[in-house]
Amino acid sequence: MTQQIKSFDDYKAVYQKSVEDPEGFWAEQASTFTWRKQWDKVLDWNFTEPNVNWFVGGKLNITENCLDRHLETRGDQVAILFEPNDADAENITYTYKELHAEVCKAANALKANGIGKGDRVCFYMPMVPELAIGVLACARIGAIHSVVFAGFSAQALADRIKDATCKAVICSDYNSRGTKNIPVKKVVDDALSMDCDSIEMVLVHKNTGGELNMVSGRDKWWHDEVDGQSTACEAEEMDSEDMLFILYTSGSTGKPKGVVHTCGGYMVYTKYSFENVFQYQEGDIYWCTADIGWITGHSYIVYGPLLAGATTVMFEGVPTYPDAGRFWQTCEKLKVNQFYTAPTAIRALMAQGDQHVTKYDLSSLKVLGSVGEPINEEAWEWYHELVGKKNCPIVDTWWQTETGGIMIGGLGEHSPMKPAHAGYPLPGIQPCLMDADGKELEGNDIEGLLCVKYPWPSMLRTTYGDHERCRQTYFSAFENLYFTGDGARRDKDGMYRIIGRVDDVINVSGHRMGTAEVENAINEHELVVESAVVGYPHDIKGQGIYAYVIVSGDIEDEDAFRKELIQVVVKEIGPIAKPDKIQIVSGLPKTRSGKIMRRILRKVASGDTSNLGDTSTLLNPEVVDEIKDTALV
Ligand code: WTA
């Protein structure tokens, strides 16, 4: 394990050093890994193109650092501890030795099927160990993984497969979630019927068993391809800046973008941040409840923990099955030391009553983490008191798909904490707050747009196939800065409090969604003329989805129409994007240049119609009254 920060004074000193000599700081972090060839230069960068290169000329394979390196010292230690959906089923474990062997077998199977360095492989899988094994197998041979959350629709999956011209899809037959057995391969079949010409193979992992349509020549069973392979597979030598993976995320425009992360920097940053934020100690059991379909799962279920030689729990199920005590029951059973989840889960469980928590022994817990959205004070207090018994620090971690790792957050018990405040930046991270005119706001007790001044190793390098989009989205708002899309406060003590997105991105149950993406889906309904989607405060989800819809002609049965609209969204994106409220309107408030005044729509959706500002300059001020009068609040 690398040297961890062990006090707040220590933090301040290390932070200072990281700002004065960033290259020296990161070189020291990087020196704790196995490199095939040492880098020639730590960093080469500009934020104008942008072009950022870390550990330039370095050669490595991230799986040698996740697996091979641990074989001698902790080969028999559990690497992945799998908690199946069925609470009564046995846990399945993979020691580092076993995981190494499985990854090599899967890597050999991919190679035997013609997949090699630089090829893109899409994953559409539930939270089973084979997902982690498959992802690592790609990294082993230099193939680029693109994991698509298994709740996305066939259409969304097809869009992502096409954008990255993937050569193969790896999926499961079915997915057990709670009491449901959800078809997975069927969704892949549907996606592949939508012109996914680049796909040569579908590798199917048999999870639950059940009826399946296997297309001969294209579809192969995981067990047929993987089981007989050799347990040795030489790792491909990768350049620091070779792509490791693509992960699609939503932005303000309709089309999700493929955020690209590269091998060297991502490796260095995920291990460094994992060890320091969670203060992981040798032998600890660490559990992150995210899904590998999101960045949190990539960085803090798979890569960060394995790089650190940790035992990482992978949970197949849902927090409410068999009942709302599942998380705490599992913490007791597995003696979990670090627990990392999302505020939406905390709020949902909080609503189910304290008895689900108090009946379990949670004394193993040392650090509690939160991620994905702002955590409100009530949820923070509940998490702190009921789950942590006031003995566990809460690390509220702010970061993004694009940042690759945690940027702002506590370091275990070594940072001061305040409810709803992410806190201080990690050493090596230089955030700043800007005003709308591009001026940096100095000092404390201020609020502005959150940017980052200096590169960090796990930052995105590009958006797949469209570098200009990357420049436009993140590097054009402010000169020489990375713009996060979030607004934040820096309080009198210098602690950051994230306020939320300032763009047209909403955060629903910790899932990031572009309002334009949902609008595009709604507009697919033949009776929809135009729509506008905004977020509104929601007790459990953080934000709910509120859609304003203009329809052509008369709708006889509004409820039936709403159901149809929801179905369209489920088909285009997936159930996570279902609107919570659909208001049928005759017009949308627009400026004279035709822009929708979302500010008004957001206020109405939030139930606040008191002060809508000056609406007289609108093209159609009369619709504002109508919208107010028929609002669904
Ligand atoms: C939000 C998830 C407040 C934020 C790792 C960010 C947060 C977006 C926090 C990224 C937090 C994430 N407090 N807001 N601790 N963590 N966010 O890409 O708006 O799925 O921009 O990455 O989630 O979401 P993403």
Q: Is the pTM of this model over 0.95?
A: yes
The CB of 423 under 6 Å from ligand 1? The reply is no
The CB of 248 under 6 Å from ligand 1? The reply is no
The CB of 515 under 6 Å from ligand 1? The reply is no
Peptide bond into 129 cis (omega under 30): no
- b/e 354-382 (16+ beta carbons within 10 angstroms → b): eebbeebebeebbbbbbbbbbbbeebbbb
Amino acid letter for position 513? M
The CB of 482 under 6 Å from ligand 1? The reply is no
- DSSP character string of 326-365: HHHHHHHHHT-SEEEE-HHHHHHHHTT-THHHHTS--TT-
Look at residue 616 and tell me whether its pLDDT is greater than 90.
no
Task: Classify 530 as helix, strand or coil.
Answer: strand
Atom of ligand 1 nearest to the CA of 294: 20
Amino acid 100: pLDDT: 98
Look at residue 254 and tell me whether its pLDDT is greater than 90.
no
350-385 confidence digits (pLDDT tens): 999 999 999 999 999 999 999 999 999 999 999 999
Query: The tokens of 404 are what?
Result: 């690759």
CA distance 284 to 624: 57
Quickly count: other Cβ atoms within 10 Å of residue 215's Cβ.
10
> How confident is residue 612, by pLDDT bands cut at 50, 70 and 90?
confident
Q: Which of 594, 564, 595, 566 is nearest to 580 (CA)?
A: 566
Amino acid 1: pLDDT: 59
Peptide bond into 322 cis (omega under 30): yes
Give the closest residue (by CA) to ligand 1 atom 5.
400
Query: The tokens of 376 are what?
Result: 């409100």
How high is the mean pLDDT of the chain? 96
Q: Helices (DSSP H) in 40-153: which residue ranges?
A: 62-66, 71-74, 96-112, 129-141
The CB of 257 under 6 Å from ligand 1? The reply is no
Across the range 324-353, mean pLDDT stands at 97
Task: Classify 546 as helix, strand or coil.
Answer: strand
Atom of ligand 1 nearest to the CA of 408: 15
C-alpha separations of 554 from 284, 375, 550, 625 in Å: 62, 42, 11, 21
The CB of 497 under 6 Å from ligand 1? The reply is no
The CB of 486 under 6 Å from ligand 1? The reply is yes
Across the range 185-212, mean pLDDT stands at 97
- The domains found in the chain, sorted by start residue, are 8-488 (3.40.50.12780), 509-630 (3.30.300.30)
The CB of 400 under 6 Å from ligand 1? The reply is yes
12-41 confidence digits (pLDDT tens): 999 999 999 999 999 999 999 999 999 999
C-alpha separations of 229 from 104, 107, 173, 176, 577 in Å: 8, 9, 21, 28, 40
The residues, ordered by sequence, that sit 6+ positions from 52 with a Cβ below 8 Å of its Cβ are 43, 44, 45, 46, 455, 459, 461
Distance between first and last Cα of the chain: 53
Look at residue 312 and tell me whether its pLDDT is greater than 80.
yes
Across the range 570-597, mean pLDDT stands at 95
443 by Cβ neighbours in 10 Å (0-12 / 13-18 / 19+) ranks as exposed
Calculate how far, in angstroms, residue 572's C-alpha sits from the geometric centre of ligand 1.
24
Model-level ipTM above the cut of 0.90: yes
